[in-house]
Amino acid sequence: MTLLRHTPTEIKERSALAINPAKTCQPIGAMYAALGVRGCMPHSHGSQGCCAYHRSTLTRHYKDPISAGTSSFTEGASVFGGQANLLQAIQNIFTIYEPDVIAVHTTCLSETIGDDLPQIADKARQEGKIPEGKYILTASTPSYVGSHVTGFSNMCMGIAKGFGSKDTKKTGKVNILPGFVEPADMEETKRLATMMGIKHILFPDTSGVVNAPLLGEYHMFPDAGARIEDLVQIGGSKGTIALGEWASAQAARFMDAEFKVPCMVLDLPFGLRATDRYVDALRKIAGTSVPYEIDKERGLVVDLLSDMHQYFHHKKVALWGDPDQLIPLVEFLRDLDMLPVHIVTGTPGKKFEKRIEEIMTETAMPVPYNVKVGGDMFLMHQWIKNEPVDLLIGNTYGKYIARDEDIPLVRHGFPILDRQGHQYFPTVGYRGALRLMEKILDAFLSRKDRDEPEASFELVY
């Protein structure tokens, strides 16, 4: 019996029906980004189902409480506009939950009726609904444009616009935008910068917010996340490093244009070379040298690769997820001499295929591969049926393909609903690269232990 028994091997062009999407919608990304500001309550301006779905999915992924408000539209608000609902919501939220910031994003409903968030926020200010010293951020996040990554990017922009100012005193700090990654990854991104002695402002920063400890008390706003006193200084930084073109570049370029803070857009630091580029960028932007500790961490990645190369070499992989994640992952797999042969992202974006092509053709031995932007996991599965692979890398929803086709799955990306660890252990940086390699090796070697005939079943690998 197969769970995806109706997926045929023969691939037919589809123009209207998406099946098993490799993306979701903007507001969830905006909600996640907003959680990365200390004392911030994300707010979903639309009917309450969106907010419920986004909170549920983030909760299932992080296994931690996700606080967010909703404007709770019913039919009336949908016809006459949601201004009254939002004004009421702002007042209630500041009174009951006492956040320092409310970060409002739109939904496809409020976006379609044309609610103007900055205008409503202004009105709230005029009506005295925003207490002294408190902030409202806004982001336009129509669900029918882009994907969850776009929403994350738009809220990063909302944060930059809401707190940044060109009249800020120069601080000598570096802004770092970590991209749509796990809280543990944000922590690791900060750790590398700190190891190099670089004063930085990382935002959004969900570490400690969506992976908070259990201490017997519930704090709706944990003592974690990017601090407001830091965020108001972002316009005075000496530069910005934006990780991930899709998730981070927009806000970085905005700060470049508006506050004259020069930016550098890099790939997310997954794997060896993307981390090299991040470390190198930090070194250049801050004018410091790289400490031996970092060389050592890097050396461990190269060491493990040299020790276990035989198990990586020419293994075929199918992977799906966010473009920012796939680009450095594909590069890392190629660096391990593996063969990423099927690559799907649901998030639209013109540059993706070109970047993948560059990575896939930079070595002497070209490999045929499939890539699709705006594709789905149904197509991915069909490709796998036509050309089987040794490994799957992607989110939880890949477990159905993994079971049907009997292929090991390394869970990576968003959402991961059925495994733990992603919140706590990074996959960015050199430590993250070690962990990715460990997971891939475990998958291959466990499979080998399961399948090997008795005569060749060996203790030593």
Partner 1 sequence: MATKSKKQKSLTPDEVRQELIKKYPPKVARKRAKQIQANTGDEASTPEILSNVRTIPGIMTMRGCSYAGCKGVVLGPTRDIVNITHGPIGCGFYSWLTRRNQTEPPTPESENYMTYCFSTDMNENDIVFGGENKLKQAIREAYDLFKPRAIAIFSTCPVGLIGDDVHAVAREMKETLNKENPDHFINIFGFSCEGYKGVSQSAGHHIANNQIFTHVIGLTDKPKEGKYKINMLGEYNIGGDAFVIDDLLERCGITLVSTFSGNSSIHDFERAHTADLNTIMCHRSINYVAEMMEIKYGIPWIKVNFIGAKESAKSLRKIAQYFGDKELMDRVEQVIAEEMPAVEAALASIKPRTEGKTAMLFVGGSRAHHYQDLFSEMGMKTLAAGYEFAHRDDYEGRRVIPSIQVDADSRNIEELEVCPDPTRYDKELEAKKKALEAQGYEFSDYKGMMPEMEQGTLSIDDLNQHEADKLIELYKPDIFCAGIKEKFGIQKCGVPMKQLHSYDSGGPYAGFKGAVNFYKEIDRLVNSKVWSFVKAPWNKNPELTATYNWE
Q: Does 451 bind partner 1 (CB under 8 A)?
A: no
State which residue, 145 or 441, has the beta carbon closest to partner 1: 145
The separation between CA 99 and the C-alpha centre of its own chain, rounded to angstroms, equals 24
Q: Does 460 bind partner 1 (CB under 8 A)?
A: no
Stretch that binds partner 1, among 13-21, 159-167, 261-269, 291-299 (CB under 8 A): 13-21
Closest separation in Å from C-beta 292 to partner 1: 34
Measure Cα distances from 300 to 91, 185, 239, 432, 456 in Å: 53, 19, 30, 11, 30
How far is residue 35's CA from residue 28's CA, in Å, rounded to a whole number? 11
Q: Does 171 bind partner 1 (CB under 8 A)?
A: no
Q: Does 336 bind partner 1 (CB under 8 A)?
A: no
Residue type at 49? G
Which residue reads 């949601």 in tokens?
82
SS3 360: helix
Q: Does 240 bind partner 1 (CB under 8 A)?
A: no
Q: What angle do CA 223, 264, 185 make, to 5 degrees?
A: 35
Closest separation in Å from C-beta 229 to partner 1: 22
Q: Which of 106, 138, 140, 147 binds partner 1 (CB under 8 A)?
A: 147
State which residue, 66 or 265, has the beta carbon closest to partner 1: 66
Q: Does 302 bind partner 1 (CB under 8 A)?
A: no
Residue type at 209? V
Q: Which of 40, 66, 294, 326 binds partner 1 (CB under 8 A)?
A: 66
Residues near 295 by beta carbon (within 8 Å), at least 6 away in sequence: none
Beta pairing class for 370-373 and 200-202:
unpaired
Size of the site for partner 1 (CB under 8 A): 87
Q: Does 128 bind partner 1 (CB under 8 A)?
A: no
| Half-sphere exposure for 412 (CA within 13 Å, toward CB) | 31
Q: What angle do CA 42, 31, 322 make, to 5 degrees?
A: 170
Q: Which of 36, 39, 69, 426 binds partner 1 (CB under 8 A)?
A: 69
Q: Does 109 bind partner 1 (CB under 8 A)?
A: yes
Closest separation in Å from C-beta 255 to partner 1: 27
Q: Does 153 bind partner 1 (CB under 8 A)?
A: no
How far is residue 216's CA from residue 382's CA, in Å, rounded to a whole number? 48
Q: Does 344 bind partner 1 (CB under 8 A)?
A: no
**Residues 183-222, interacting with partner 1 (CB under 8 A):** 212, 214-221
Q: Which of 31, 40, 71, 440 binds partner 1 (CB under 8 A)?
A: 71
Binding mask 393-412 for partner 1 (x = CB under 8 A): ----x--x------------
How far is residue 126's CA from residue 122's CA, in Å, rounded to a whole number? 6
Q: Does 92 bind partner 1 (CB under 8 A)?
A: yes
SS3 317: strand
**Residues 39-58, interacting with partner 1 (CB under 8 A):** 43, 46-50, 52-57
Q: Does 108 bind partner 1 (CB under 8 A)?
A: yes
Q: Which of 33, 35, 89, 157 binds partner 1 (CB under 8 A)?
A: 89
SS3 375: coil
State which residue, 145 or 232, has the beta carbon closest to partner 1: 145
Omega prior to 415 cis, within 30 of 0 = yes
Q: Does 123 bind partner 1 (CB under 8 A)?
A: no
State which residue, 14 or 166, has the beta carbon closest to partner 1: 14
Residues near 99 by beta carbon (within 8 Å), at least 6 away in sequence: 39, 40, 41, 93, 134, 220, 221
Q: What angle do CA 64, 328, 158 make, to 5 degrees?
A: 55
Q: Does 150 bind partner 1 (CB under 8 A)?
A: no
